[in-house]
Structure 1
Amino acid sequence: MSAIMEFLRFIPLLILPTLAKMPPLITLEEHYVSATTPDAMKALFKEQTQFVPNVMEKLTNLSSLRLSDMDKGDVTIQVVSHAAGLGSYPVNYSRSANDQVYEAVKNAKGRLAGFATAPMSQPAEAAAEFRRAVTELGFVGALVDNHDGKGGYFDGEEYDAFWAVAEEFDVPVYLHPTWPSEDMAPRYQGNFDPIAANSLGSSGWGWHQDTGLHVLRLFASGLFDRRPKLKIIAGHMGEMIPFMLQRIDRLSGRWSTAQRNFTTVYRENIYVTTSGVWSLDPMRCILANTPIDHILYSIDYPFTSNEVGLAWFKELEASGLVDQEQLEAIAYKNAEKLLRIKVDDVKGNCTHGTA
């Protein structure tokens, strides 16, 4: 479905009367592309540039256009993170990207916050840059690519210093999908158009199941025993894990001698966002097996519009699946607690008048 058709599907919901006052909205998976991003990385977004209107213009804007789009979706605060792919480049690219976000946050009167990007292909440098972003730039966590660019995951001891930063400063790590590595790509190629292969390997399927696999690998490695206070965010309604939770829990006891079973780790250490999945069906699943204070509203801007997210949120409000207290928790209160940011700190004009 094209972005335009997706939006048209939700137009009736945009004019639904709200059941109560609309709460403020905080979103956590909202991307940009830095001024120093290599052209080779930008080229990875060829599918999105073909099917999502003005996506590159929006990715490269951290000021008026972004804030205007936030207003269209009633977003009070957006946590900005770099688009997928930068983690395989040298640390200077991550530093430059983080510095650019820092300047944008300073100028946005509280409406933007930052997730650090980090060069995950270089574990020591990734840990150091994560620490700098939190301690010197005031970032509220990190959003990192799901593998190191060559298919390597982060369950080895070389990444312990990176995870230590997250636990030491009590900030979350958003484990975000990235493009298939060279050895992964053939799994998604077949007797069909290369455009389909590109989508199957990325947002159409591959990067969701691969990010879910990464979370399971972290569990199997004993990371959550070594770092019991670690907080991991998985987007797109939990990257398939909630749907398979019971089976994972039953079988994962064979994987290791973990002190807590997987469901306990899921409930205590894993947070999920709604990013880019605009159906109530997966939300029904998540509400049944995920603590309400671990569910957070997000968009996946600009690959999805803030207006589509708002229409879905109104659909959730009207559905009866959650009460007003739960709706507000998903909308912004859970994010306030997790990230230690406040909608009341926003200055200037915005949708909800939080000045």
Structure 2
Amino acid sequence: MEFLRLIPFLILPVLAKMPPLITLEEHYLSSATPDAMKGLFKEQVKFVPNIMEKLKNLSSLRLADMDKGDVTLQVVSHAAGLGSYPANYSRAANNQVYQAIKKATGRLAGFATAPMSRPAEAAVEFRRAVTELGFVGALVDNHDGKGGYFDGEEYDAFWAVAEELDVPVYLHPTWPSDDMAPRFQGNFDSIASNSLGSSGWGWHADTGLHVLRLFASGLFDRRPKLKIIAGHMGEMLPFMLQRIERLSGRWSTTQKNFTTVYRENIWITTSGVWSLDPLRCILASTPIDHILYSIDYPFTSNEVGLAWFKELEASGLVSQEELDAIAYKNAEKLLRVKV
């Protein structure tokens, strides 16, 4: 009996190691989302249980799911696709998140969505969401809906907002445009085509390409304090870093080399990639304070993320200090939030 009374004290040191968790790539669908856009999620609807119910919920169901994964603070962002629609859709979505944040008593924060197909309006909505609604940055689609990227002069006002307000832009994958889609079609089922063009491969590679386009355009020379977040273990960039550095010197007359940009201007998240193998590579190439824990909810469950995090804790790959940094301290510093 004496031994049983000691059990709580014996397990407390183990439990105390578990840090609070902040997650940064966590999605929803606003009530203003066009029906045509909802149709993009047909693969997820088929394979992820209750996905639409979870995407639409910004209250009790979402908070309960956070508790299942020990998530202390979730930064909410709109699911891919809305940036190709007029600005009123982004504005309505941001307003809805703002109301949810107020009701959630410190459990939620917001990344702005922006109408990236309309660059000037995107800059205006981005500024409003940060300065008036208190959002901690923006999460935007990887292209404008028609395959256009954001390395042109027309987007400079958008990037200027990010640098001036000192908030990050999360460059998030989105569906292939009409001209991209045939590249992922072949002698296989349409389900495979849809997946290859999106979360199965294509939109990850395309997001990594976009970061390289921004670099090649000289954006990080013009905006040296810019902060870009890339999800899914860095959208393939960490694994090609040495080759990119070796060859990118041929591309242009940028003042910064890519390794400097990667170490100073790029943050990566763990979202949706539940293996320690890619993290081993990332830990060797990426500053520890630029690695952020994330889930990709509700496309992945918080419980799966928590199991991975506990595996990382037990692996010996990182110290307790580094584990805390990945869990929440890096996000606190980058986003100026506090758990």
What is the TM-score with the length of structure 2 in the denominator?
A: 0.96
Cα RMSD (Å) of the superposition?
0.8
Q: Report matched runs for 1:241-320 at 5 Å.
A: 241-320=237-316
The whole-number CA distance in structure 1 between the counterparts of 2:182 and 2:315 is: 41
Query: Is 1:202–2:201 an aligned residue pair?
Result: no
Following superposition, the deviation at residue 260 of structure 1 comes to 1.1
Cα deviation, 1:145-190, whole Å, max 9, x if unaligned, reads 0000000000000000000000000000000000000000000000
The whole-number CA distance in structure 1 between the counterparts of 2:266 and 2:148 is: 21
Structure 1's unaligned 5+ residue stretches are 1-16, 344-355
Query: Is 1:36–2:32 an aligned residue pair?
Result: yes
Cα deviation, 1:264-293, whole Å, max 9, x if unaligned, reads 000000000000000000000000000000
Give 1 or 2 for the bigger CA radius of gyration: 2
The whole-number CA distance in structure 2 between the counterparts of 1:93 and 1:132 is: 14
Q: Secondary structure at the match of 2:73?
A: strand
Choose from 99, 103, 119 the match for 1:103. 99
Following superposition, the deviation at residue 257 of structure 1 comes to 1.0
Choose from 54, 58, 62 the match for 1:58. 54
Amino acid at match of 1:260: K
Choose from 337, 344, 347 the match for 2:333. 337
* 1:11 equivalent in structure 2: none
The whole-number CA distance in structure 1 between the counterparts of 2:299 and 2:322 is: 27
Following superposition, the deviation at residue 258 of structure 1 comes to 1.2
The whole-number CA distance in structure 2 between the counterparts of 1:179 and 1:18 is: 43
Q: Secondary structure at the match of 2:139?
A: strand
Q: 1:58–1:66: 8 Å Cα contact kept in structure 2?
A: yes
* 1:236 equivalent in structure 2: 232
Amino acid at match of 1:242: P
Identity of aligned residues (%): 88
Amino acid at match of 1:42: K
Amino acid at match of 2:115: P
* 2:125 equivalent in structure 1: 129
Q: Secondary structure at the match of 2:77?
A: strand
* 2:3 equivalent in structure 1: none
Choose from 155, 168, 193 the match for 2:189. 193
Amino acid at match of 1:126: A
Runs of at least 4 residues of structure 1 off by over 3 A? Answer: 17-20
Query: Is 1:162–2:168 an aligned residue pair?
Result: no
The whole-number CA distance in structure 2 between the counterparts of 1:309 and 1:84 is: 21
Amino acid at match of 1:189: Q
Choose from 318, 323, 333 the match for 1:327. 323
Following superposition, the deviation at residue 20 of structure 1 comes to 5.2
The whole-number CA distance in structure 2 between the counterparts of 1:144 and 1:228 is: 20
Q: Secondary structure at the match of 1:229?
A: coil
Amino acid at match of 2:188: F
Choose from 67, 72, 75 the match for 2:68. 72
Following superposition, the deviation at residue 237 of structure 1 comes to 0.1
Cα deviation, 1:214-267, whole Å, max 9, x if unaligned, reads 000000000000000000000000000000000000000011111111000000
Following superposition, the deviation at residue 19 of structure 1 comes to 7.7
Following superposition, the deviation at residue 86 of structure 1 comes to 0.1
Q: Structure with the greater relative contact order (CA < 8 A, sep ≥ 6): 1 or 2?
A: 1
The whole-number CA distance in structure 1 between the counterparts of 2:158 and 2:80 is: 19
Following superposition, the deviation at residue 66 of structure 1 comes to 0.2
The whole-number CA distance in structure 1 between the counterparts of 2:16 and 2:217 is: 45
Structure 2's unaligned 5+ residue stretches are 1-12
The whole-number CA distance in structure 1 between the counterparts of 2:252 and 2:28 is: 38
Amino acid at match of 1:173: V
Q: Secondary structure at the match of 1:256?
A: coil
The whole-number CA distance in structure 2 between the counterparts of 1:149 and 1:135 is: 27
The whole-number CA distance in structure 2 between the counterparts of 1:322 and 1:256 is: 37
Amino acid at match of 1:238: G
The whole-number CA distance in structure 2 between the counterparts of 1:247 and 1:56 is: 40
